[in-house]
Amino acid sequence: MFEPFLKPLNWLYGEITDVRNLLYDSHIMETLRPATYTIGVGNLTVGGTGKTPHVDYLVRLLKDQGPMATLSRGYGRRTRGFRIATASDTADTIGDEPLLLYRKHAIRSGPRQAGVLVSVGEKRAEAIPKLLVAEPDLQTIILDDAFQHRPVQPHLNLLLTDFHRLFYHDEPFPGGRLRERRHGARRADAVLVTKCPDDLGEAEQQVIEQRIRVYSKPDAPVFFTGLQYGKPLPFGEEQPLAGLGGIGKPVVLVSGIARPEPLEQYARAHYTLVEHLRFADHYRYTSTDLARLRRVVPPDGVVLTTEKDFVKLAPLLAETGRTEAAFYYLPIEIRFLNRETEFLAMVRAGLAALRESKSIVKKS
């Protein structure tokens, strides 16, 4: 429900974003079209639509195609400017989501790892040339949370929308959560409806797709993805990768993510949920938070958290000398409800087409 008295402000905000987009669409404001295959991943709304798991999916999909990089703003970091992640970086220096990607895909001996460079930079049009200096042979760059970053025009622009908060039900700021009007979806080359329930039927998918097509390009495909959790993993690498046991295992859930409801549902379905300590998205944990966790965990219970929260809690545990034995995190991946082969073909076709065009230019 949107407050009626905010309608004029919604309209004003929408007008401002419309003018900004018009300046870019008319080429009055400069736009960079990188020579390297670039995929943008973003949304129209504020909050969690599952961007990081989708970026992770794309990295796993394309990193065997040659050197690649991820580039994000680095939300929540205490640094500014462009930087390539190294083993010494923390959530304070690059942000929690880039740190997660670094730990999963890029940890080697220095910034120029074989395969994936994880980088941050508010001004992506300035950061991309710096990436190419660091790795001239880059084949792919994935831009995280870049749908409204108009100074860069990606070759493939992916728009994500949460099944539980579809953009066509929403309004612009301040009455709603949209960063721009709904028709901004026309910039998307494909729309992905994320966090879908496992039992979402084809009939309901078609209804959602029809509603999306009111605002998107006519030829932009619409895909549906859900989340799947992996086996809980302990914080300490020296521990065996054992599960937590059955439904009776007492669990205290801790999360600092935008929409923790699916996580809580999973915990309730698989364990005995003692308590869920919910923090704001990108929350910076403290030793006081650890002490609070310790107080509420039963003697035979454990702390369960997300992979994004793990990269911030684990260093804090190490700093305070706390044992890691009672701390586990849940790996998370996306899965397509259907038509994954079509999506894979679309992503790979873009890379192949750009390579072919470069080959023709070299031959000529």
* CA Rg value for the chain: 21
Burial label for 9, CB within 10 Å (0-12, 13-18, 19+), is middle
Mean pLDDT, residues 119-123: 95
Residue 35: in which H helix or E strand, if any? none
- Token pair of 1, please? 């429900």
Q: Name residue, tokens 């305070």.
A: 320
What CA–CA distance (Å, rounded) separates 153 from 42? Answer: 13
- Are the beta carbons of 91 and 77 closer than 8 angstroms? yes
Helix residue spans in the chain (DSSP H): 7-25, 51-62, 91-94, 96-105, 124-134, 202-212, 261-270, 287-296, 307-320, 340-363
Reference 147, options 100, 185, 174, 114; nearest CA is 185
CATH class of the structural domain 4-227+336-356: alpha beta
Q: How far is CA 354 from CA 58, 60, 142, 274, 357, in A?
A: 17, 20, 15, 52, 5
Reference 58, options 353, 354, 358, 346; nearest CA is 346
- Are the beta carbons of 160 and 49 closer than 8 angstroms? yes
**pLDDT at residue 356 in the model:** 79
Reference 245, options 261, 235, 227, 232; nearest CA is 232
Poorest-confidence range of 219-233, 243-257, 280-294?
243-257
pTM score, two decimals? Answer: 0.90
Band of the pLDDT at 115, cuts 50, 70, 90? low
- Are the beta carbons of 332 and 229 closer than 8 angstroms? yes
In the chain, ranges of CATH 3.40.50.300 domains? 4-227+336-356
3-class SS of residue 114: coil
Beta strands 233-234 and 327-330 are: antiparallel
Poorest-confidence range of 98-107, 230-239, 245-254, 323-332?
230-239
Specify the fold of 231-330: Rossmann fold (3.40.50)
- Are the beta carbons of 119 and 83 closer than 8 angstroms? yes
Per-residue pLDDT reduced to its tens digit, 262-274: 889 989 988 999 9
Mean pLDDT, residues 275-289: 92
Mean pLDDT over each residue of the chain, to the nearest integer: 88
